[in-house]
């Protein structure tokens, strides 16, 4: 039996129960099949995975009320106890790592070579925030001549977490773990294209002993379930990961109830390669950051800015590497690129092959769609692009790289910054002064120099411009999920103004 067949057989075993129960919501600790459902299908072959509960505004209302009811006790639980419980959840995630990985691949089309670590990354997110839970409420002592000011933080209340379909398990834990550690209760609305592992996460949390109502799962569409969540008066804040234009809609929807929002949105991130760089390492990193995870990653390096003096040599090597990338079944351990999430998204990505031609760029590699029932596209490289072309400005969100030449540092900086987005940037140069000067002037929330996206959980994660509002990571997450409070105590008999005396 091949490894692929073994993985398929294990997956079949994990999916059996969903054929019977469907993917249910979890509200106030209870499973709910929902009065209406929608189908989730695998991007590998369009086969039905399960029927999914489709929440409407009354389901959202019950979930928000369950989160509200559970909030006082959860917020009052000592940080040490929350820490122990969150570590228990991390243990349970690790124990079900294989199931999570196989389900994630089948539901999203992501290759197992990357998703096999999804559960471990998710568990690491829980452990990191578990350890910070006991100190989350800590504050400062700020004495003035006549007052002692004491600050402290309180969890903001029940929050809504709305997540996208790319690496959904990891991203859900990235938002939910700090919210729980802070003492918030959560209503989670996962993406309709990838509901499977959000269900596993909510079950894992319940089975590990998370009290009823602390984490509620509601599946459904953005325009009804998502919208109702952002408008609900009991939900105090919305942590959202997804497209920039959805972020803008959520801001409008949340305006009447004055929602606090945290947005992790789209990107069109440059990887800038100067001729003095270690070109072999730059090539490895540039290829990895756009063709891993099917290119469906917010921090992908989707624009290559290559210095004219090394362009020919670099692009020739790139074409070879792109042509060698193994496209295949996501559960085959040798696969590097799997099918795209959904037909709708596949059509969007493929439409850029025509835009590239129409605008005068060259399709130097790929630009084709392998014959298959699934949503496969060949890893693609556009060359001879200019900075204002659609392929150089818009987020394509697939295994598609646009190469743009530049002459000098000033031109590179101008091209790098001349887009609506500002999430991440990757800079390759061995000139230290230039690295410092350039990264200081680059408009992006996160910049890696001579590196790919290597995450450090205490560091801030997030974007500028159309790429987001707010930061996750370290203590930054708590700034979002908690309210600051200042208590000023008079330390003597300071003068109080006497009106009408």
Q: Which residues bind ligand NAD (CB under 6 A)?
A: 162-166, 171, 189, 191-192, 222-223, 226-227, 230, 241-243, 246, 249-250, 253, 264-267, 298, 395, 397, 423, 463, 467-468
CA angle 101, 169, 199 (to 5 degrees): 90
N- to C-terminal Cα separation, the chain: 94
CB of 491 to ligand NAD, least distance (A): 45
CB of 48 to ligand NAD, least distance (A): 20
- With respect to ligand NAD, which residue has the nearer C-beta, 74 or 165? 165
- With respect to ligand NAD, which residue has the nearer C-beta, 170 or 412? 170
Whole-Å CA distances, 99 to 13, 50, 169: 9, 16, 12
Evaluate whether 361 touches 327 at the Cβ level (below 8 Å).
no
Going by C-alpha positions, the residue among 145, 153, 208 that lies closest to residue 494 is 145
CB of 461 to ligand NAD, least distance (A): 7
- Catalytic residue (one of 192, 264, 336, 443): 264
Q: Sign (positive/negative) of CA torsion 233, 173, 439, 356?
A: negative
CB of 442 to ligand NAD, least distance (A): 16
- Please count the residues of the chain: 501
- Catalytic residue (one of 184, 296, 298, 315): 298
CB of 165 to ligand NAD, least distance (A): 5
- With respect to ligand NAD, which residue has the nearer C-beta, 162 or 364? 162
CB of 299 to ligand NAD, least distance (A): 7
Evaluate whether 264 touches 240 at the Cβ level (below 8 Å).
yes
Q: Which residue is nearest to ligand NAD (CB)?
A: 222
Whole-angstrom distance, CA of residue 162 vs CA of residue 131: 24
CB of 212 to ligand NAD, least distance (A): 24
- With respect to ligand NAD, which residue has the nearer C-beta, 258 or 499? 258
Burial classification of residue 440, based on how many CB atoms lie within 10 Å of its CB (0-12 exposed, 13-18 middle, 19 or more buried): exposed
Evaluate whether 424 touches 272 at the Cβ level (below 8 Å).
no
| 298 among known catalytic residues | yes
Whole-angstrom distance, CA of residue 23 vs CA of residue 41: 12
- With respect to ligand NAD, which residue has the nearer C-beta, 32 or 231? 231
CA angle 91, 331, 340 (to 5 degrees): 105
Whole-angstrom distance, CA of residue 60 vs CA of residue 217: 9
Whole-angstrom distance, CA of residue 470 vs CA of residue 170: 19
DSSP string, 353-418: HHHHHHHT-EEEE-----SSSS-----EEEES--TTSHHHHS---SSEEEEEEESSHHHHHHHHHS
Phi (first) and psi of residue 453, to 5 degrees = -75, 95
CB of 323 to ligand NAD, least distance (A): 26
497 Cβ contact list (under 8 Å, min separation 6) = none
- With respect to ligand NAD, which residue has the nearer C-beta, 97 or 251? 251
- With respect to ligand NAD, which residue has the nearer C-beta, 166 or 307? 166
- With respect to ligand NAD, which residue has the nearer C-beta, 111 or 283? 111
500 Cβ contact list (under 8 Å, min separation 6) = none
| 296 among known catalytic residues | no
Other beta carbons less than 10 A from residue 386's beta carbon: 14
The residues annotated with a catalytic role in the active site are 264, 298
């Amino acid at each position: 039996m091949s490894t692929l067949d073994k993985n398929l057989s294990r997956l079949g075993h994990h999916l059996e129960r969903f054929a019977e129960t469907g993917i249910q919501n979890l509200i106030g600790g209870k499973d709910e099949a929902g009065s209406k459902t929608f189908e989730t299908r695998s991007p590998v072959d369009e086969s039905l995975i399960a029927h999914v509960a489709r929440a409407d505004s009354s389901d959202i209302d019950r979930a928000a009320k369950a989160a509200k009811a559970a909030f006082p006790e959860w917020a009052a639980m000592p940080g040490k106890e929350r820490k122990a419980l969150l570590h228990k959840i991390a243990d349970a995630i690790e124990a079900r790592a294989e199931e999570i990985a196989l389900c994630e691949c089948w539901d999203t089309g992501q290759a197992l070579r990357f998703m096999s670590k999804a559960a471990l990354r998710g568990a690491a997110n829980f452990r990191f925030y578990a350890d910070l839970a006991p100190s989350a409420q800590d504050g400062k002592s700020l004495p003035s001549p006549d007052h002692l000011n004491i600050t402290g933080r309180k969890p903001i209340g029940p929050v809504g977490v709305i997540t996208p379909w790319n690496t959904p398990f990891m991203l859900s834990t990235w938002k939910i773990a700090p919210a729980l550690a802070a003492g918030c209760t959560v209503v989670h609305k996962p993406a309709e294209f990838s509901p499977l592992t959000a269900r596993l996460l909510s079950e894992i949390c319940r089975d590990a002993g998370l009290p009823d109502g602390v984490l509620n799962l509601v599946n459904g569409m953005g325009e009804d379930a998502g919208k109702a969540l952002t408008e609900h008066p009991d939900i105090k804040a919305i942590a959202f990961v997804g497209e920039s234009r959805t972020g803008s809609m959520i801001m409008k929807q949340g305006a009447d109830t004055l929602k606090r929002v945290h947005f992790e949105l789209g990107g069109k991130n440059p990887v800038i390669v100067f001729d003095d760089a270690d070109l072999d390492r730059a090539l490895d990193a540039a290829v990895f950051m756009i063709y891993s995870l099917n290119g469906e990653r917010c921090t992908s390096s989707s624009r290559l800015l290559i210095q004219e003096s090394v362009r020919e040599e670099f692009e020739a090597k790139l074409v070879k590497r792109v042509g060698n990338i193994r496209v295949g079944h996501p559960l085959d351990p040798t696969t590097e690129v799997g099918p795209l999430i959904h037909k709708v998204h596949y059509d969007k990505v493929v439409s850029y092959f025509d835009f590239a031609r129409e605008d005068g760029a060259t399709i130097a590699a790929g630009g084709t769609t392998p014959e298959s029932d699934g949503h496969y596209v060949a890893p693609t490289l556009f060359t001879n692009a200019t900075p204002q072309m659609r392929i150089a400005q818009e987020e394509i969100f697939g295994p598609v790289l646009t190469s743009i030449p530049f002459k000098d540092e000033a031109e590179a900086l101008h091209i790098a910054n001349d887009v609506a987005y500002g999430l991440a940037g990757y800079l390759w140069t061995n000139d230290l002064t230039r690295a410092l000067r350039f990264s200081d002037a680059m408009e992006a929330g996160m910049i890696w120099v001579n590196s790919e996206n290597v995450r450090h959980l205490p560091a801030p994660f997030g974007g500028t411009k159309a790429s987001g509002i707010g930061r996750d990571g370290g203590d930054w997450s708590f700034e979002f999920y908690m309210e600051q409070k200042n208590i000023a105590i008079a330390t003597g008999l300071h003068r109080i103004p006497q009106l009408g005396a």
